[in-house]
Chains A and B, each alone.
Chain A
Amino acid sequence: MAITLTVNGTTHTLEIEPDMPVLWLLREQLNLTGTKYGCGIAACGACTVHLDGRAVRSCVLPASAADGKAVTTIEGLAANGPLHPVQQAWIAQQVPQCGYCQSGMIMAVAGLLAQTPPPTESDIDARLTNVCRCGTFTRIRTAIQATLRTAATAATTEASAPSVPPGTAATTEAAR
């Protein structure tokens, strides 16, 4: 059947069986290989993408369920602009080791931050069940906390002194 979906802003119509998982559609039909296969049973999260803004595991998401919807993959997270704050934090904290799980990890975290702002520690623990075999979890937690702090600082700065660019706290103080 014909499936129409928008991936990273581009609309595609594909003649494809409705049960083909979105993971393989992305990787093989659209050559978007940043989304990874890890288990095929939604147990590891390496294949996490956003479906209409919600983090989902694409290895068990049939193409038919994405028909008419918008998919964002790791390749589209920054949308040709600066890196997403989560990606920036991942570099700053030097999170990846082998890196294979990190596309899914970043998409899961970005999804969580968008859906549950700001998530509590228990939200984070409950919702982030992606597997990383290199054991980067200690840095993942640090990177998430850094992202949340940056977001909170930006929000505070914006609310208190919208005319002053972020990162100039001393100026903000003096202007009062």
Chain B
Amino acid sequence: MNKWTRRAFIGAGSITGGGFLLGVAGFTFAPSRHSLVGDDAAARGQLTTWITVTPDDAVTILIPHCEMGQGVPTALAMMAAEEMDADWANVRVQEAPALDAYANGYIVRAAGGDFIPASMARGLDYASFKAAEWFGFQVTGGSTAVRGTGEFGMRVAGAAARQMLVEAAARDWAVVPGECTVAKSRITHAASGRSTTFGPIARKAAALSVPSRPTLKDPNSYVLRRTSVPRLDIPAKVNGTAKYAIDVRMPGLLYAALAMAPVNGGQLVSVAPAPAEGMAGVKKVVRLPNGVAVVADSFWRARKALAALTPQFSDAGHGGVSTASIFAAYDTALGAAPSLPSGAAKTVTADYKAPFLAHATMEPMVCTAKVENGRAEIWTGVQDPLNARSAAAKALGIDVEQVTLTNHLLGGGFGRRLPFTFDYVELGVLVAQAMSPAPVQTIWTRENDIQHDYYRGAAMSRHAGALDADGRPLAAHSVYTGGGNGEAVSMPYDIEDMDADEKKAPHHVRNGQWRSVLNSQHGFFKESFVDEMAHAAGADPFTFRRALLGKAPRFKAALEKAADMAGWGGPLPKGEGRGIAICESFGTICAEVAHVAVAADGALQVKHVYAAVDCGDIVNLDTAKSQVEGGIVFALSAALLSEITIEQGKVVQSNFRDYPMIHLADTPLVSVEFLRSDAPLGGLGEPCVPPLAPALTNAIYAACGVRVRELPVKKTPLVRA
């Protein structure tokens, strides 16, 4: 049996070419198979590799996360380089391969809702590590890359590398390591006047034992972090050279177009291939359990031939389901409004609804695969290469060791390319299996993508609140359906009697994770209701909230900052209003103020959104800002326009014409400020999504007196009755 030793958590050794290579596998987040093979791993060349220093002074950092727009490789490399005191000009990044060595237990713990304080996290248990290995997670999601891999991995790896390099130089010079200083990849011993860059000493450093507890930098001495560093991935994204899964090319590549059962759960009943078979470029019509694919020498030809087919699908008994029937079931499940304690001077009740939403990543789902002799090679774009590899192996009925997966830049993720939603990889390998040994690229059309998503769940929430004679809230109760969890439904306010109960009303529409997950619906529900309580109390919505945040200083500070940025309370022209909302998710508190104008005819203009964000600390300032800006625009598009509806069990919408997005002209000014706190690092990809919808609808109420209780906003006429 393999042995689990502390020594193996941090492993180092030389690599060919005389480089220096250091890997760190902490208990918590980056377990490595090599951690389990004992001390002889290095001798056998089995190494966990995160940081490599080559004689030319280049520092290469392997990133076990994917780039889907959030700037993660740059941020993680900054965290390692900061601890190393490496010269940023010499730092390169490379995406880690889909191997168990790069699995991350951090996400497992987060998924279990078991957030561990930062001070304890490094000592996390073996069980989490095993769980990560078992599930094969190598996830980029849950806003965990920087706060998990970065905080507990990249920093430790960088600090260990620095310590080893200094030790090697000090031995050469016969001086005390503690007398050496490091800056910009140069080690200096001032007293003897000696100095070297990292490269020449890297080989000797690699021969040293690895410090198990390297000293981390005092954040006050950061020189790289908290600055704005240009993202390393951007130059390739402005000249057409960035490669996404859809850009994979190889000799003999065929292309496939898909039709899938329009009702989730349905199967292919029959298809007559003849109409497609004679068409230009067509190679084969492939039957799949729940669909049919046409493979041709060009995607256009495949798609054209597919259109000539009339496949028949079953509906798995869901043909009578509609959005109306789903919400009717929700309404029944919720039952009567939650009861309230007696003695209230005033009560408030309200129902809120949020629709199904598609991710609609700009790059649709794409998988290229070559299956031959019981082996598969896959080229795709996923938020978890390891789990995608397992899913493909299972679909093909082969051992996971027989599958290699090369990941690519993602043309958007937002949760669509996460574990358990790898249907596009599974279908892709099945199509390739049917065409073996030819490589096949299966491209989903936008219609496939919109109609076969794992949707943000439709949800409904029923609230009741009680106020005393002074307008102080005594109780806030709710029941909800469509999914929820403790983080999503909880509120920071000091209200003695609060609860939220889940009711179940299952349906056949498949749900998945959508940027900010359950917070996206519940942020709207709970921050709308607090606003309604404030108005019922005759109070200003900002001061009402602030009075309830006495025991939550970080929330109070963020709320005040956002109000201050927006000039809360200042005069506005008739028909304009401001709305405020605050939510915590993924360890980050975000307060937002929306400023809107509603014309007499109900036309809405969102003029400005202000965000005050407390994510503990910042790694790359400009990237952090762009994540907030983008999150706000993403959330605004959904709040204003987006809705997936179901008729006869099928998704009605199919493309950007009936599932529209906001454009440049609709985009408000966005102002972002960060509050620095001593809290552990929080996420940034997601936490600025949830407060947007309620800030917007609260602003609409302030502007025109219409309370929007159902998203998207376009469903409610904004004309005062």
Contact = CB atoms under 8 A, between A and B. Distances in A.
Interface stretch (B141-149, B355-363, B500-508): B355-363
Q: Which one of B237, B244, B657, B664 has the greatest number of beta carbons of chain A within 10 Å? A: B664
Contacts of B69: 96-99, 134
B45 interface: no
Contact of B664 (A31, A77, A137): A137
Given A126-B665, A141-B664, A97 B70 contact: yes
A11 interface: no
A133 B414 contact: yes
A91 B234 contact: yes
A159 to B, nearest CB: 29
Contact of B411 (A41, A98, A140, A141): A98
Contact of B242 (A78, A99, A133): A99
B231 to A, nearest CB: 6
Interface string A11-46: 000000100110010001101111111111101101
Contact of A28 (B299, B414, B445, B636): B299
Contacts of A91: 230, 234-235, 238
Contacts of A163: none
B713 interface: no
Interface in A89-131: 90-91, 94-103, 106, 124-126, 128-131
A91 B361 CA distance: 22
A138 B670 contact: yes
Interface in B617-641: 622-623, 626-627, 629-634, 636-637
Interface string B54-90: 0000000000000111110000000000000000000
Given A33-B246, A37-B364, A43-B655, A131 B661 contact: yes
A90 to B, nearest CB: 5
Contacts of A41: 446, 655-657
B230 A134 contact: no
A137 B412 contact: no
Contacts of B662: 137
Contact of B656 (A75, A95, A131): A131
A135 B634 contact: yes
Interface in B240-263: 240-244, 246-247, 249, 255
A27 to B, nearest CB: 8
A137 B667 contact: yes
Contacts of A36: 244, 246, 362-363, 411
A83 B656 contact: no
B664 A21 contact: no
A87 interface: yes
A132 interface: yes
A83 to B, nearest CB: 7
B594 to A, nearest CB: 14
A73 interface: yes
Given A36-B246, A94-B234, A125-B665, A46 B239 contact: no
A74 B412 contact: no
B633 A102 contact: no
A66 B221 CA distance: 59
B411 A100 contact: yes
B356 to A, nearest CB: 17
B246 A37 contact: yes
Contacts of A136: 626, 629-630, 633
A41 to B, nearest CB: 6
B642 to A, nearest CB: 11
B632 A31 contact: no
Contact of B410 (A21, A29, A98, A138): A98
B238 A90 contact: yes
A139 interface: yes
Contacts of B237: 96, 99, 102
A106 B412 contact: no
A96 B234 contact: yes
Nearest to B233: A99
B131 interface: no
B241 to A, nearest CB: 7
B115 interface: no
Contacts of A40: 445-446, 655
Interface residues of A, number: 57
Contacts of A37: 246, 364, 443
A43 B657 contact: yes
B280 interface: yes
B656 A94 contact: no
A28 to B, nearest CB: 5
A31 B249 contact: yes
A94 B69 CA distance: 11
Contact of B363 (A77, A96, A100): A100
A138 B239 contact: no
A138 B669 contact: yes
B633 A135 contact: yes
B213 interface: no
B409 interface: yes
Nearest to A86: B238
Contacts of B300: 20-21, 24, 28
Contacts of A99: 69, 233-234, 236-237, 242, 409, 411
A162 B637 CA distance: 47
A41 B664 CA distance: 19
Nearest to A104: B362
Contacts of B301: 20
Given A41-B657, A131-B362, A98 B629 contact: no
Contacts of A73: 240
Contacts of B626: 94, 97, 136, 139
B663 interface: yes
A141 B667 CA distance: 9
B240 A134 contact: no
13 contacts: A34-B241, A38-B656, A75-B241, A78-B239, A97-B627, A98-B412, A128-B664, A132-B362, A133-B360, A133-B361, A133-B414, A134-B69, A135-B633
Given A102-B238, A106-B238, A135-B633, 16 more contacts: A28-B299, A32-B240, A37-B246, A38-B362, A38-B364, A41-B446, A43-B655, A46-B362, A75-B241, A94-B230, A97-B627, A100-B363, A133-B661, A135-B636, A135-B667, A138-B629
Interface of A: 17, 20-21, 24, 28-29, 31-41, 43-44, 46, 73-75, 77-78, 83, 87, 90-91, 94-103, 106, 124-126, 128-141
Interface of B: 67-71, 230-231, 233-244, 246-247, 249, 255, 280, 298-301, 360-364, 409-414, 443, 445-446, 622-623, 626-627, 629-634, 636-637, 655-657, 661-665, 667, 669-670
The 9 closest A-B pairs by CB, nearest first: A34-B240, A135-B633, A100-B411, A99-B237, A97-B69, A98-B69, A125-B665, A74-B240, A135-B630
